[in-house]
Amino acid sequence: MAITNGQTADADEVLNAIGSNFNDVAQNLFNADYIGFDSRLSNTGAPSLKNVKYSTFTTDDADVNYGLGYDTAGDFYFLPVLSTVTYYIIVEAASYSGLLGGNIIQVSSGKWIVYDSTLDASQEVQRAKVHQTMWETSSEDITNFTSVTALKVSDSNDVGMQGNYMTGSFEGGGSGAGGNTSTWEMPKNTTLNTQSDERGTDTSADEKSDPATCRAEGIYNYNIILQIDGIPSDQSGNTISSWSYVSATNSNDANCAIILFCQGNISWTANNGSIDSDIDYFVDHSIPLTTLAESLSTEGVGNGTLIFKDTVTSTDNAIPVINSSIDATSSEQISISADGGLNWTDVDNAEVARPTAGTELWRRIVITRTDLSKLDKVTEQAVKYELY
């Protein structure tokens, strides 16, 4: 009802009027945080606020982030465009300690998606980049997951497979001319790659069914300086996908890095040069064989949840202000908890919530998409609590 003279005001009307005012104040607060507060504020350069928590995301400060990327240049969270993702791997594990937001996004508790964030049109290029992320030792590879219980691939042809990664080298000296070549062969003497880096590219034409052998070889001045032979385990009908880097230079050096995604392991032997790493992820790291993933939506990919946590004196009322840009085809739900997430109260933006009393004031933002081509954003958040 409208508040008129002589009437008793409804409590929610009064508090929501305060919420509308706090919404406007919060915009000034956000802007001042971006441009810098006057150094004379409380003699510290920080505002003297009463019962207010806020963030402009100048750092990645969400306590929980499921499904959203973080833009370091723009200081905002976003749901990435996933409508052109044609190949992906779902990892179910206890935890992940590597980098998030590039090729890996956490979908929910204990669940991540690995995909090609450059969204190349070719499924095979996406597939190649995903497997480079998964098996090539880096800050993102599969070993950053602990207690992996499932590895699900979007392509049924990749079911029942495992990753292998081998690197080798020969370091010489001096220089020479002519005859400097290198090859990746599978089977031996069938050249698939000559002196180049094909990792992250479409090598589907190189897939082999149950090859008996494979070889990385480097030749300097017509002499073999690097030769590493591989023997795949006997798996009848096994298809082996490979991505390789091989080189031999006129400084008498040679290197190779081979990613293989296959059924069974590969046994390597160095005839010249040395094997620097030989990783069988199934045997060495107990990474399970792949199974078939569901669709993105069925796997819960494409939506997002942000949670911001603060400890306060006990409160049972709060008004959140969330700045976001949400497409008309998406929806956003804001929730408040004062007891550390045990109970949640849904609330409209800039309106009062009366959660179960507590000292752990959490704000949750859930975005649900129906169109994975939309780029929904969350740019700032604030909450005023203990109003009465």
DSSP 356: P
Provide the b/e sequence for 5-36 (b: ≥16 CB within 10 Å): eeeeeeeeeebbebbeebbeebeebbeebeee
CB atoms within 10 A of CB 329: 12
Residue at token pair 């919404």: 23
Task: Say what the pLDDT of residue 2 is.
Answer: 56
CB 355 within 8 Å of CB 339: yes
DSSP string of 59-123?
S---SEEES-EEETTTTEEE----TT---EEEEE-SEE-S--SSSEEEEETTEEEEE-TT--S-H
Three-state secondary structure readout of 13-53:
HHHHHHHHHHHHHHHHHHHHHHHCCCCCHHHCCCCCCCCEE
Task: Say what the pLDDT of residue 39 is.
Answer: 82
Task: Say what the pLDDT of residue 177 is.
Answer: 64
Tell me the pTM.
Answer: 0.88
Q: Domain segments of the chain: what residues?
A: 11-64+302-385, 161-280
Determine the length of the chain. Answer: 388
**Which residue from 182, 211, 214 is spatially nearest to 198, judged by alpha carbons?**
182
Provide the b/e sequence for 358-379 (b: ≥16 CB within 10 Å): bebbbbbbbbbbeebebebbbb
- Tell how many helices (H) and how many strands (E) occur in the chain: 3, 27
pLDDT tens string, the chain, 388 residues long: the values are 455 555 555 777 788 888 899 999 999 999 999 999 888 888 888 888 999 999 999 999 999 999 999 999 999 999 999 999 999 999 999 999 987 767 899 999 999 999 998 877 799 999 999 999 999 988 778 999 999 999 999 999 999 999 999 999 998 866 666 678 999 999 999 999 999 999 999 999 999 999 999 999 999 888 899 999 999 987 777 889 999 999 998 888 999 999 999 998 899 999 999 999 999 999 999 999 999 999 999 999 999 999 999 999 999 999 999 999 999 999 999 999 999 999 999 999 999 999 999 999 999 999 999 999 999 999 999 999 999 8
Q: From CA 132, how far away is CA 141, in angstroms rounded?
A: 8
CB hemisphere CA count around 329 (13 angstroms) = 10
CATH code reported for the domain at 11-64+302-385: 2.60.120
Task: Say what the pLDDT of residue 45 is.
Answer: 84
State which amino acid sits at residue 24: D
CB atoms within 10 A of CB 40: 8
Task: Say what the pLDDT of residue 1 is.
Answer: 47
CB 218 within 8 Å of CB 225: yes
Continuous segment of H or E residues that includes residue 126: helix 123-135
**Omega before 232 cis (within 30°)?**
no
